[in-house]
Amino acid sequence: MTRFLGYCQLTLLATVLMVGCGSSGEPEAAEAPPQAGEGRNSETEPTVEDTADRCPPVLSTPAPAAGQAVDDIVGVRPGQSFDDVHARLGCREEGYTLEVASRWVIRDTGDLPTRQVLRATNGVACSGQEIARDMGSIAGNQRCIGGFSGSNFRAVRDATDEVYVGFTGMFGQEIAGAVWRSRSYPEDARPSVDKLEQALIDKYGEPSHREEMRLHNWGMRKGDISLNWVYDLRGRRVSAENPQYQQCLTISPAFSGTHRWSGSCGTVVRAGIAKYHGNDLLVDRFDIGVMDQKAFYEGGERFKAELAAALEQQRQDAAREAAAVMPDL
């Protein structure tokens, strides 16, 4: 049986990010939710940019090797640089608004700028009045998503297409390790469940396992379809009968779910097809996530070490500056 070298766990509840990381076989307890507004700084940059003169984008990250498992979502894949991801999403025809969150997996960053999550959304920015209304509403009645309870992202409404990309690395050196997309469909443009499922198989190959959910789990309802592609560290498909399958199937298809990752697992792709209540042959919502678990785990460990070294250097520099000042007694 594969031994877990360690993993991190992340849970997103409403718009609150909580994370616990450990090197043992069990995750540490998640932190308390941040207070409203915590984590906001000048490095959060909601932007709507004119990228027409830079499209199609010229990417610096090498293309995947021949025979490598397909691991991209809308052209964004683990291993790409922040600039490549930003350029790729900025050129999408959906006309995404791109925003950066400075904290996600690692929240203790001092005053050092970091870019840990990029969100691309087609949602419309909410007004202050709409946000205030939602804060007094029960969750099922809220229309504005992502703009309060400690989130760095602006609150948006009417979002039907969103992409989230998680990064590790110091500012300017970020590498993508995980990508999620959530897509919902209007009443008159719902694809059939069969067509969407076949499109996924055409792109990613035969899944390690396909399941029609018998219980509510992983954010999916009974009857929804789960498709999972699990790979070992050598890039080989892992069957559902292999013990490593369940050990490594620890990310949610949706960014808003619970995620764990291990240095002893390879790439995992998870898709969830939510059926429309009015007609279960049609799709209501579609979520998909991909993570290179080993790369994300190791990148996170390096990121923590680099941040700690930078913060210690900052502390030492401040002490040296202070030592040069004669106290006024």
Tokens of 186: 């209007």
Looking at residue 278, its pLDDT comes to: 85
User: Is residue 147 a part of any domain in this protein?
Assistant: yes
Domain extent at residue 70: 7-322
Tokens of 15: 């718009």
Count of helix runs (H) and strand runs (E) in the chain = 5, 13
User: Is residue 327 a part of any domain in this protein?
Assistant: no
User: Is residue 219 a part of any domain in this protein?
Assistant: yes
User: Is residue 220 a part of any domain in this protein?
Assistant: yes
- Output the pTM of the full model: 0.82
Q: CB neighbours of 178 closer than 8 A, spacing ≥ 6?
A: 78, 165, 166, 251, 259, 261, 289, 290, 291, 292, 296
pLDDT digits (tens, 9 = 90+) for 109-161: 888 999 999 999 999 999 888 888 887 777 666 788 775 444 578 889 889 99
Higher pLDDT, 94 or 195: 195
User: Is residue 329 a part of any domain in this protein?
Assistant: no
User: Is residue 304 a part of any domain in this protein?
Assistant: yes
pLDDT band per the 50, 70, 90 thresholds, residue 218: low
User: Is residue 1 a part of any domain in this protein?
Assistant: no
User: Is residue 167 a part of any domain in this protein?
Assistant: yes
Domain count, the chain: 1
pLDDT band per the 50, 70, 90 thresholds, residue 323: confident
